[in-house]
Amino acid sequence: MTARTIRVAEVVVDGTALFLDKRFSYAVPPGVDVAPGMRVVVPMRSSMRSGIVWALREASGATDLRPLARVVDRAPVLTSDQMRMAEWLCDRYAATLPEAVSAILPGAFRLRVRSVLVPAAGAEIPDDVRGLALFQHIAEAEPALSDIRAKSRHDERMVRAWMTAGFLREEIRVDEAVGEKRQAYLVGSAPADVLRREAEARRRRARRQSDCLEVLADVGEVAWDKRLYPPASVQPLVAAGLVRVEERRASHRWAAGEELERWPELTPYQARAVRDLAEMADQGHGVALLHGVTGSGKTEVYMHLIRRAIEDGGQALVLVPEIALTPQLVRRFERRFGGQVAVLHSGLSLGERREEWTRVLDGDASVVIGARSAVFAPMRALKLVVIDEEHEPSYKQEDAPHYDAREVAMWRAKQAGALVILGSATPSLSSMYRVEQGSAKLVSLPVRANQRPLPPIEIIDMREELRTGNRSIFSRRLAAELEATVSRDMQAILFLNRRGFAHAALCRACGHSMECPRCDIHLTVHRSAEGHVLVCHYCGHEEPLARRCPDCGEEALMPYGLGTEQVEEHLRRAWPSMRVLRMDLDTTRRKGSLQAIIERFQAGEADVLVGTQMIAKGLDFPRVRLVGVVAADAMLTLPDYRANERAFQLLTQVAGRAGRAETDGITLIQTYQPGHRAVEAAKQHDYRLFYERERESRAFFRYPPFCELAVFLASHSEERLARGAAARFERELGRSPSARSLVVLPAGPSGIRRIDNVYRYQVVMKYAAWQDVKEDVVRAYRLVKEKMNRLGGSAVLDVNAQRIG
Ligand SMILES: Nc1ncnc2c1ncn2[C@@H]1O[C@H](COP(=O)(O)OP(=O)(O)OP(=O)(O)O)[C@@H](O)[C@H]1O
Ligand SMILES: [Zn+2]
Ligand SMILES: [Zn+2]
């Protein structure tokens, strides 16, 4: 016999287990068409799994490789660039290959692979077998062998015998996770007060109907989530004329023939920035930090550079924080670039996401706008990457593979020879430090596009208010400005960085605060139809707020510390005629409701918008005159080395929502700590001042950007096992060759020691360069993780962590 060469496919198999972190080899059956980047089904141990072909090679001689079971795609769904990106994610963030692939490829491309039982075609099956109920069930329902086993051991034996006899065989079924292209919306079709009244009337007998009406009264319309509102509970509301159902695409698609907007004249500063950035772009890869004050028109600058990139035959990627990804922003780009825009975000249905991805892959879209994960979009001619609001922590993914979209973008741009523009009014310390180090170039927009000054910021000392007898949550100054703003038909934004009604429930007699029974954290007070309830923001535990203190027995439990719900309530009580909208996690949890609130505020359907940090991100409301920070203190005391930076950014960003277009603006910051560094710098609009001081303290305590942090976290329902795992990790590092390049802080409980009855212990590491310590850290991590998984716990490693605990 002559030695034949066969083709071998190296496949990355889907799954989270550590043993899957490599490529598995399979024989490609003769005549089968397959290329790297295509999805396949392969046998793995005793089952079938999906995977991606990573590479093809030739092997000679007989091999005992198992063959590919099926090739799913005709064309690759992953480009070779994306495969290199996946490999880089593994290297940079200690991710496994399947983890990296699942971060890159949208869920819409995930496959469900099942083996089902079917009667064997062409087999002679005796009539007495064919007539049995079990056999008929299999012929009709095509169950999996495991389904049969779960029901009856006896049936399983029977089925196995039939398989041996050749009556039944197993067949692979591959289901795509494609979803609907259209999204059904529920739209309120009666005035809000009617909806509210009807909600109240149904509160006891039809809870879901009541919830649905309440939401629609608040936000007007929501994408129809059928798990939340089953058709059976929506039907009666439709019949009663309170709700109607509308089908539409979840995302707008530019219609051919729609007229594009004219390009406005750039301000002199914008023109200079465009010129500088264009010059950089012509030189290939580079990183620019566009520091433009709030409302300076950074978007206009981005759009000019995007136009250049497209005219050059290239593609541009624009990353924005999820929250800023409203239809308004997308429309802004579409009005300039029409049908060349593709949008990727979590609000799309699976089908839409797949469609947008395919448009990018096929080169039909030249501008891709999206949140964090859009950094993985399959562009082949990348010329420009814009990262808007680059200081936002949401660019860092909190779950495995813990990637930072800013870093991925820079790596990708370097490979592609593309320019990266980091844009912000409040650049992160690390980006500014990059400028200092010479690895990024600073470009500035020091004035607003509307030529008006930045809104003056006044600090209001709330201690003084108390001393002079004002017990309201609104200072006299804020109350007066609110009234003045609304009476001039302008709008106001009130910011408070805490959701819920009150921060905690505290006993006035003994000081006891109500804690979650399953977590080591106090409970937050929320308002509900039945009065006040205590809610855990970590595990969802809920209980009514009683008056009696469980600790001392006094009837002295009281809500303590303001939340957004309470701000809303005080507003309604003090000014019943003001129209108020609230935007926080609780009012925006449902799909589509965030956008609905933004649209309603923009349309002038409310005078005041109360909200958490969500309202600080890149929103452009032309009629907002007043911004009030109800209590800056809520963010000045966070136990994190970046607390000052966050506070300064939030204050500056939220202040920047005032006076952006048609009106002068004013910002009032209420606080009990008027002398705080972040408050002072924000008041003076002095980024430089803030940067210099913060830089100094980071250098002194050796925190990023003067080092990098990684956090190892072990979790287990038994505290000693979690603690033991962290200690083991610390020991392993201590005796590793890189010990001298690492500062390892002692293992200890994470910021919240217990969440949902799972204990969490961590080890924080500091180092100068990941490359120097990577090997040993990852080895120790995998060692402990493997053991932890066997013990029923888990371990994660967050490289370049943005938070500790
Ligand atoms: N050259 C221009 N001519 C006219 N209007 C402009 C021009 N540039 C920007 N604007 C307008 O100024 C406003 C602010 O611009 P934009 O939203 O781009 O600012 P920004 O720098 O992104 O602000 P922020 O960082 O606060 O989100 C927008 O309403 C925009 O339409
Ligand atoms: Zn008490
Ligand atoms: Zn809890």
With a cut of 90, say whether residue 305 has pLDDT above it: yes
Chosen domain end from 536, 562, 588: 562
With a cut of 70, say whether residue 253 has pLDDT above it: no
Chosen domain end from 110, 130, 153: 110
Stretch 266-286: mean pLDDT = 96
pLDDT-based confidence at 1, cuts 50/70/90?
very low
Q: Between 97-104 and 80-93, two packed helices, what is the crossing angle to 10 degrees?
A: 130
Query: Both 273 and 394 in a single domain?
Result: yes
With a cut of 80, say whether residue 420 has pLDDT above it: yes
What's the order of all strands across the beta sheet hosting 243-249? 221-223, 182-188, 243-249
Q: CATH number of the domain that 477 lies in?
A: 3.40.50.300
602-614 pLDDT, tens digit each: 999 999 999 998 8
- Distance (Å) from CA 562 to ligand 3 centroid: 20
- Distance (Å) from CA 515 to ligand 3 centroid: 8
Number of domains in the chain: 7
The structure tokens 């699976």 sit at: 350
Q: Between residues 234 and 182, which one has the greater pLDDT?
A: 234
What CA–CA distances, in Å, run from 465 to 468, 473, 481?
A: 5, 10, 16
The pLDDT mean for the chain works out to 91
- 438 φ/ψ sector (left φ>0, alpha ψ -120 to 50, else beta): left
**Which residue, judged by its Cα, is nearest atom 9 of ligand 1?**
297
Instruction: Concatenate the DSSP letters of all residues of 565-595 into one string.
Output: HHHHHHHHHH-TTS-EEEESHHHH-STTHHH
Query: Which residues sit in the known binding site?
Result: 507, 510, 516, 519, 536, 539, 549, 552
**Index of the ligand 1 atom closest to the CA of residue 618:** 27
pLDDT-based confidence at 563, cuts 50/70/90?
very high
What's the order of all strands across the beta sheet hosting 666-671? 457-461, 666-671, 624-629, 491-495, 608-611, 580-583
With a cut of 50, say whether residue 717 has pLDDT above it: yes
- Distance (Å) from CA 522 to ligand 2 centroid: 15
Closest C-alpha to 803, from 396, 433, 427 = 396
**Index of the ligand 1 atom closest to the CA of residue 617:** 27
- Min mean pLDDT across 67-71, 358-362, 382-386, 788-792 is at 358-362
The alpha carbon of residue 475 and the mean position of all alpha carbons in its chain are separated, in whole angstroms, by: 35
Q: CATH number of the domain that 19 lies in?
A: 3.40.1440.60
For residue 254, being part of any structural domain is answered with no
Query: Both 486 and 583 in a single domain?
Result: yes
With a cut of 60, say whether residue 559 has pLDDT above it: yes
Query: Both 469 and 596 in a single domain?
Result: yes
For residue 263, being part of any structural domain is answered with no
Query: Both 517 and 488 in a single domain?
Result: no
pLDDT-based confidence at 256, cuts 50/70/90?
low
Side chain identity at 201, as an amino acid letter?
Answer: A
For residue 450, being part of any structural domain is answered with no
With a cut of 80, say whether residue 179 has pLDDT above it: no
Assigned token pair, 432: 């500014």
Query: Both 514 and 623 in a single domain?
Result: no
- Distance (Å) from CA 294 to ligand 1 centroid: 8
For residue 257, being part of any structural domain is answered with no
421-448 pLDDT, tens digit each: 999 999 999 999 999 999 999 999 999 9
pLDDT-based confidence at 456, cuts 50/70/90?
very high
**Index of the ligand 1 atom closest to the CA of residue 424:** 25
With a cut of 80, say whether residue 530 has pLDDT above it: no
Stretch 611-626: mean pLDDT = 88
Query: Which residues sit in the known binding site for Zn(2+)?
Result: 507, 510, 516, 519, 536, 539, 549, 552
pTM strictly above 0.95: no
Stretch 624-650: mean pLDDT = 89
With a cut of 50, say whether residue 593 has pLDDT above it: yes
- Distance (Å) from CA 632 to ligand 2 centroid: 29
Side chain identity at 325, as an amino acid letter?
Answer: L
Counting ligand 1 atoms within 8 A of each CB, the residue from 294, 300, 303, 617 with the most, and so the one to mutate, is: 300
Query: Both 297 and 439 in a single domain?
Result: yes
Q: Are 142 and 115 in contact (CB under 8 A)?
A: no
The structure tokens 């952006």 sit at: 660
16-27 pLDDT, tens digit each: 888 888 999 999
Query: Both 466 and 523 in a single domain?
Result: no
Tell me which ligand sits closest to the C-alpha of residue 522.
3
Range of the domain at 410: 268-445
| Neighbour tally for 714: CB within 10 Å | 28
* CB-facing half-sphere around the CA of 788: CA atoms within 13 A: 32
Rounded Cα gap, residues 709 and 731, in angstroms: 18
671-699 pLDDT, tens digit each: 999 989 889 999 999 999 899 999 999 99
With a cut of 80, say whether residue 570 has pLDDT above it: yes
Lining ligand 1 with CB less than 6 A are: 264, 266-267, 270, 292, 294-300, 425, 449-450, 618, 620, 656, 660-661
- Name residues whose C-beta falls within 8 Å of residue 62's C-beta, 6 or more positions apart in sequence: 3, 4
**Index of the ligand 1 atom closest to the CA of residue 445:** 21
In the chain, the percentage of residues whose pLDDT exceeds 70 is 97
Q: Rounded to 10 degrees, what is the CA torsion of 458, 464, 469, 470?
A: 30
Query: Both 169 and 141 in a single domain?
Result: yes
- Name residues whose C-beta falls within 8 Å of residue 147's C-beta, 6 or more positions apart in sequence: none
Long-range contacts of 637-644 (CB under 8 A, 24+ apart): 639/751, 640/803, 640/804, 641/698, 641/701, 641/703, 641/704, 641/804, 642/802, 642/803, 644/677, 644/678, 644/694
Radius of gyration of the chain (CA): 29
- Name residues whose C-beta falls within 8 Å of residue 679's C-beta, 6 or more positions apart in sequence: 459, 632, 636, 647, 651, 669, 671, 673
For residue 735, being part of any structural domain is answered with yes
Query: Both 105 and 117 in a single domain?
Result: no
Query: Both 236 and 350 in a single domain?
Result: no
Query: Both 288 and 214 in a single domain?
Result: no
**To which H or E segment does residue 507 belong?**
strand 502-507
640-679 pLDDT, tens digit each: 888 899 999 999 999 999 988 878 899 999 999 998 988 9
For residue 258, being part of any structural domain is answered with no
Rounded Cα gap, residues 517 and 548, in angstroms: 17
pLDDT-based confidence at 363, cuts 50/70/90?
confident
Interstrand relation of 24-27 and 491-495 (parallel, antiparallel or unpaired):
unpaired
Chosen domain end from 143, 160, 176: 176
**Which residue, judged by its Cα, is nearest atom 1 of ligand 1?**
266
- Distance (Å) from CA 15 to ligand 3 centroid: 29
Rounded Cα gap, residues 427 and 404, in angstroms: 16
**Which residue, judged by its Cα, is nearest atom 31 of ligand 1?**
297
For residue 607, being part of any structural domain is answered with yes
Query: Both 298 and 395 in a single domain?
Result: yes
For residue 77, being part of any structural domain is answered with yes
